[in-house]
Amino acid sequence: MANIVLVPGFWLGAWAWDKVAESLRAAGHDVLAVTLPGLEADRTDGAGIDLAAQTRFLVDEITTRDLTDVVLVGHSGGAFAAYETLDRIPARIARIVYVDAGPVANGTSLLDTLEPAQHAVIEAELAERGDGRYTYPFDPTADPEMLDGLSPADLATLRARAVPQPYGVAASAIRVGDEARLKVPAHLITCMFPAEQVEAMLAAEHPFLAEFAAAERGGVHGLPTGHWPMFSRPADLAVLLAEIAG
């Protein structure tokens, strides 16, 4: 059985993994789901929260608990802290799994991967809120592909429990440099893009996937749904993670 650490993406806490974690524990795995700094339910602003703070927290969680042979799972924007954590403590990580996400090159921020129009929306809300955070509406009419597969109950839960995201995390450039990170098998669970398309991009040496391509390849796994499979397909996601944990 494996030590599986589940890292949620932007706006979410450990609670987002509840159904997946329950299935994995029932299968005998030890599971730790985390809430990254800045995403606590009672957080009132984003002051002092950047990617480095989240990475330090995640490293501390793993080392303080003396976890080894960890299957580290990062969803969406949470994959940035997961990848930096792999870089900091590669000897403790047996596999890293990116859920509808992937590693990016050293010096790249999540904002660098967004379109200018998306930047403008975030900047406008930051100015309006004034607390260094921004939200996501979870509105299927505005973003049907991202929210594909979510039931009305799922959407209600996300609207009720998701918290504003600290801007400093998205604006932080990732910092990695330990070549040992590339020796840890890396898996990609792709939801919004067909696995075949991702494999074709890898074969074509697409620059967006260069960091993943440079790692010890564990495989690309298709799980067709929207961007939040822990809600839309939790049982199937748990099965995939258990198979990857091996």
Average pLDDT per consecutive 10 residues, the chain (246 residues; last block may be shorter): 96 98 97 98 96 98 98 98 98 98 96 92 96 97 96 97 98 97 98 96 94 95 98 98 95
Q: What is the pLDDT of residue 244?
A: 97
Q: What is the pLDDT of residue 217?
A: 87
Of 84, 68, 66, 81, the closest CA to residue 8 belongs to 81
What b-and-e string marks burial along 46-71, b requiring 16 or more CB atoms within 10 Å of the CB?
beebbbebbbebbbebbeeeebeebb
Query: H-type helices in 6-50, by residue range?
Result: 18-26
Q: What is the pLDDT of residue 246?
A: 87
Of 103, 95, 98, the closest CA to residue 208 belongs to 103
Q: What is the pLDDT of residue 178?
A: 97
Q: Which residue has the tokens 């992937």?
A: 102
Q: Which residue has the tokens 């994995």?
A: 24
Helices (H) and strands (E) in the chain, counts: 10, 8
Query: H-type helices in the chain, by residue range?
Result: 18-26, 51-64, 78-88, 116-129, 152-161, 167-171, 195-203, 210-214, 229-232, 234-245
Of 178, 191, 174, 186, the closest CA to residue 215 belongs to 186
What b-and-e string marks burial along 205-244, b requiring 16 or more CB atoms within 10 Å of the CB?
eeeebebbbebeebebbbbbbbbbbbbbbbebbbbbbbeb
Structural domains of the chain, ranges and CATH numbers in brackets: 3-245 (3.40.50.1820)
Give the residue numbers annotated as catalytic, written as ranges: 76
